[in-house]
Structure 1
Amino acid sequence: MTTPLIVVAAVFERDGRILACRRAPGRFDAGRWEFPGGKVEAGETPENALVREIDEELGTSIEVLRAVDRTATHVGERVIDLASYLVRPLSDYPTTSSDHDTLRWVAKTDLAALRWALPDLPTVARLTA
């Protein structure tokens, strides 16, 4: 059995809208939408990994508020164990990303209309329930 890849994602909410990020060309799953985040490194807690990843990817310092979802999803031969968290920026909301070509604020009711990366779908379902 394959060891799951442990990944974390940030859910930013502002005025009833959620931040969705589109994977840039040349990256795995390019063109699909996701919540920003990344891999948990050895010795990191998921929350610490999320703070680090969002600083690296979006240049934004955050506070992790609470868990939204945690689901393991099979993507080809891999298992992605994605934990998503509601977060709050400690300064400005992000406007650019090193991993994404578009950042969009989307109404919760419109989230399901985007073409999401498979591991992010359980979080989308939880947010739109």
Structure 2
Amino acid sequence: MVTQNKPYRLSAKALILDKSGRILLVRRSARSRGNPLRWDLPGGKVEGAEPFEEALRREVLEETNVNVELVRLVGAVESESPTARIVCVVMEARALDTQVQLSAEHDEARWVRAHDLGGLEIVPYLEPIFAKYKCKPS
């Protein structure tokens, strides 16, 4: 349940596909404040007046060292952190390179096929996105 008295924050996530259609997932580290050791899409907070597309490319590059081309909007979901209500906008993106180099925020990265998502512990707020994208992790 989302608490009404918290401010909204915008988050940008990328559903990144490689040339063979695999999705890039990153696993949050054990030190993560939210959803530790769960699989997530690369991305993060949009800073101030930063353009959305720039924020998404920046976050993906910071977290994975992968350059992307944004393709289309997949959807948006709402979640909550201890301090904010988060609107998470997910864009489909094409990987321009596939050599992943993780930041300290994550401890593992995997390129997975949609039908292999069921065996992974995905962050709960992304379930509607995967369902809409026809690759629900269940």
Structure 1 or 2: larger strand share?
1
Shift of 1:76: 5.8
Shift of 1:5: 2.0
> Could you tell me the percent identity over the aligned residues?
32
Structure 1: 5+ residue runs without aligned partners? none
Q: Does 1:123 align with 2:129?
A: yes
The normalised TM-score by structure 1 is 0.86
Structure 2: 5+ residue runs without aligned partners? none
Question: Which residue among 5, 12, 17 is the counterpart of 1:8?
Answer: 12
Q: Which is worse superposed, 36-45 or 101-110?
A: 101-110
Question: For residues 53-78 of structure 1, what are the alpha-carbon distances to aligned partners after superposition, in whole Å with 9 as ceiling and x for unaligned?
Answer: 11211122222111111111245664
Aligned residue pairs, count: 128
Question: Which residue among 42, 46, 64 is the counterpart of 2:52?
Answer: 46
Give the alignment's Cα RMSD to 1 decimal: 1.9
Shift of 1:25: 2.0
d(CA) in 1 for partners of 2:37 and 2:112? 16
Going from structure 1 to structure 2, the CA distance change for 1:120 and 1:17 (only over 3 Å counts) comes to same
Q: Does 1:86 align with 2:98?
A: no
d(CA) in 2 for partners of 1:4 and 1:24? 25
Aligned partner of residue 6 in structure 1, secondary structure: strand
Shift of 1:4: 2.0
d(CA) in 2 for partners of 1:93 and 1:74? 31
